[in-house]
Amino acid sequence: MSVDIEQLAEQEYKYGFVTDIEQDIAPKGLNEDVIRMISEKKNDPQWLLDWRLKAYNHWLTMDVPKWPNITYPEIDFNDISYYAAPKIKEKPKSLDDIDPELKETYDKLGIPLEEQKVLAGVAVDIVFDSVSLITTFKEKLAEIGIIFCSISEAVQEHPDLVRKYMGYVVPTHDNFYAALNSAVFTDGSFVYIPKGVRCPMELSTYFRINAENTGQFERTLIIAEQGSYVSYLEGCTAPKRDENQLHAAVVELIAYDDATIKYSTIQNWYPGDKDGKGGIYNFVTKRGRCIGKRSRISWTQVETGSAITWKYPSCILEGDNSIGEFYSVALTNNHQQADTGTKMIHIGKNTTSTIITKGISAGFGQNTYRGLVQIGKNAENARNYSQCDSMLIGDKCGAHTFPYIEVNNSTAQMEHEASTSKIGEDQIFYCQQRGLSAEDAVSLIVNGFCKDVFKELPFEFAVEAERLLSVSLEGSVG
Amino acid sequence: MLEIKDLHVKIEDKEILKGVTLTINPGEVHSIMGPNGSGKSTLSQVLAGRESYKVTSGSITFKGKNLLELAPEQRACEGIFMAFQYPVEIPGVANTYLLREALNSRRKYQGLEPLKHVEFIKTVKEKMKNLKIDESMLNRSVNEGFSGGEKKRNEIFQMQVLEPELCILDETDSGLDIDALQVVADGINSMRNSKRSFIIITHYQRLLNYVVPDYVHVLIDGKIEKSGNKELALELEEKGYAGIGEQLQTAS
Ligand SMILES: Nc1ncnc2c1ncn2[C@@H]1O[C@H](COP(=O)(O)OP(=O)(O)OP(=O)(O)O)[C@@H](O)[C@H]1O
Ligand SMILES: [Mg+2]
């Protein structure tokens, strides 16, 4: 039995390797010159440089948010490098031009870059540290008017769209980390789905942090025109390192009349070791505007990585009859901390929101659900259903819930359910009696607990999520 | 196959089993009866390897192996199955899923390949038909929302699929209606053979009319006070456990 656990412990975080590649890294520290340097590397137009500088100057006046239920040493923002890119002469035009070392990296991560090998029906944008390496199926998608490319490329190729929509949902001054991101963001994905088009494949971005002492600041922008549909997925990993690394992303979604955006995340940044050393600090602002009537934005997240997670994917339900959804699994094991949840802002009439969250805490993990449901005064007949369940494994971890509700219209219908349970010793024993190891029993029971969320994920990713959860739970039973 | 010698078991400093000795040979059916709280479930849990029950002295060997050294899942893979007195619910985990994991875990232990999905489903459906279990139950979560009788039937169903060598049934008959009792009894009888042994814990003679035991033991206050053949069960039904107490008193 002990042999099994040893083997399991070894495969703990299997994405922890480092790619040995020559990098172009900015010196540590942040000031206007660094921003100009990034802007120049990215070949930004003047307006974008101005936008960055404005964000930076605003950021200087802001304080780190103190309200989240997380503790960590103060981050020295001048001890971080804000740009890292593998040294390549020009952006590869085809896969043959990609450095073999990088190709191997993605093979190891299980993301083969060759289109024919990629999961059927999934187009991928690959972001390595600060740059996008390649986007697959781009041409095929372009035939039906879909734009799927890196945000850097979008800045060059579709400047009007980018200029119109960047900051449309998350303004530069929105919060401390969003302001920082606006000043220094380096890459990310851009998606534009034209009117009436149903995107025929899953779109996905795979983020990889590789360089040491650098932060990753990506920006993703998805615009779904009237009557369009897109399902988008992001995944992320990072090497094992003893220092903490910062990741501060901004994601903006815009849905017009009758458009649907499904946004799924499998977040598997390096969580730190079992004593809490190292790991990614994940401070993310994700928000969508359901501008159009009957538009729908659905966030599904599976958060198993990072030392610290701070994120609240939210929906602003402006259009009448629009729908916002948030399905979340957050797992904290060892010394991980998560403060995550959502905001559902009901503005239009007959708007509906659903929140289903499953928090799992093991080891010394601390897991906080924080959510706001706000019903505006004109939001006639708004409805919200919230269900927040927590599961504790062991007795040194914690689960916390902070559901805030603001109702300014008496026609609103609100339903809130919450539960906290300890994983049952009798459930584990029952499975063991049927022949499963205690580890397998725990992962089976936890996966069952998360089923309502997993069923929202595209099938392949649900399988991946289940596997990931099992790996992340290793060592959680004695 | 199973040899229990002078077994003493404590739970939280309270001695529950006070010297149980019992030998079960391949193919035998042993029934254990006894008043509430006498330690019947404790004995089955100890055989299955529940940690909270501390074995303070005595020994258990199963197929020549020291059972007490094996983890619960190893015991299961060695062929011990317990139908729980109170089967637990596992929300969100489909019945089929648990069953397949269980079966494949045992096959892996035996060095066999996992069963092909088609074959698995075929076996499962066949057993379900015999036990008159609705197929919709396969996709329902383990025991969640099952009636008392459905839970018990589900235990027997799992037993049929897993084909263990030693089946421990802890009050599987309690909570079953008359028809279900017959179905479950047929299910048990269909599995009887010269290699497979059963421990049937029950309060009622009724089940034993259908599943005729080779031996009946009476467990009182942590000790087997009397053993006999199937007639003993009838006697108990008539006189109750008090009778046994009297006999003991007269004897001493
Ligand atoms: N977890 C526990 N903690 C404390 N006492 C326990 C525990 N489990 C069992 N006991 C005690 O051990 C004794 C034997 O219990 P056990 O369940 O083995 O009885 P039983 O013979 O199966 O009874 P029944 O016929 O009611 O099922 C009882 O007095 C019971 O209260
Ligand atoms: Mg009992």
How far apart are the C-alpha atoms of A461 and A448, rounded to whole Å? 16
Contact B92/A424, CB-based, under 8 Å?
A: no
Q: Where are the alpha helices (DSSP H) in B54-197?
A: 72-78, 95-109, 117-130, 148-162, 178-191
For B76, the closest of A433, A438, A440 (CB atoms) is A433
Reported ipTM: 0.94
Domain locations along chain B: 2-251
- The alpha carbon of A74 and the centre of ligand 1 are apart by a number of angstroms equal to 54
| Token representation of residue A181 | 């991101």
* Cα–Cα distance for residue pair A135/A234, rounded to 1 Å: 13
| Residue A294 pLDDT exceeds 80 | yes
What integer pLDDT is reported at residue B94 of this predicted model? Answer: 92
Neighbouring C-beta atoms of residue A309, cutoff 10 Å: 30
Of A232, A246, A210, A206, residue with least CA distance to A146:
A232
A250 touches chain B (CB under 8 A): no
Give the tokens for residue A201: 């494949």
Nearest by Cα to B30 from B131, B223, B169: B169
**Residue A6 pLDDT greater than 60, yes or no:** no
Ligand nearest to the CA of B14: 1
- With H, G, I as helix, E, B as strand and everything else as coil, classify residue B181: helix
Least confident of A16-25, A450-459, B55-64, B66-75: A16-25
Whole-angstrom CA distances from B191 to B49, B77, B161, B194 are: 24, 18, 11, 10
Q: Whose CA is nearest to atom 25 of ligand 1?
A: B36
The token duo for A23 is 């990098």
Q: pTM value? A: 0.84
Residues of B in contact with A428 (CB under 8 A): none
- First CA to last CA across chain A, in angstroms? 11
Q: Which of B8, B15, B16 to mutate to test the pocket of ligand 1 (most atoms within 8 A of CB)?
A: B16
A236, pLDDT greater than 80: no
* Optimal mutation site among B46, B84, B98, interface A, most CBs of chain A within 10 A: B98
Q: How many residues does chain A have?
A: 478
Q: What fold does the segment set B2-251 form as a domain?
A: Rossmann fold (3.40.50)
The torsion of the CA quartet A438, A439, A444, A447, rounded to 10 degrees, works out to 140
Q: Residue B237: what pLDDT?
A: 80
C-alpha–C-alpha distance, residues A473 and A469, integer Å: 6
CB of A429 less than 8 A from some CB of B: yes
Q: Where residue A212 falls among pLDDT bands split at 50, 70, 90?
A: low
Q: Is the model more confident about A143 or about A125?
A: A143
For residue A5, pLDDT beyond 50: no
Nearest atom within ligand 1 for CA of residue B52:
1
Q: Are B16 and B44 in contact (CB under 8 A)?
A: no
Residues A347-356 pLDDT 10s: 999 999 999 9
Per-residue pLDDT reduced to its tens digit, A63-120? 988 888 888 888 888 888 888 776 665 555 666 666 777 677 666 666 666 654 555 5
B44 lines ligand 1 (CB under 6 A): no
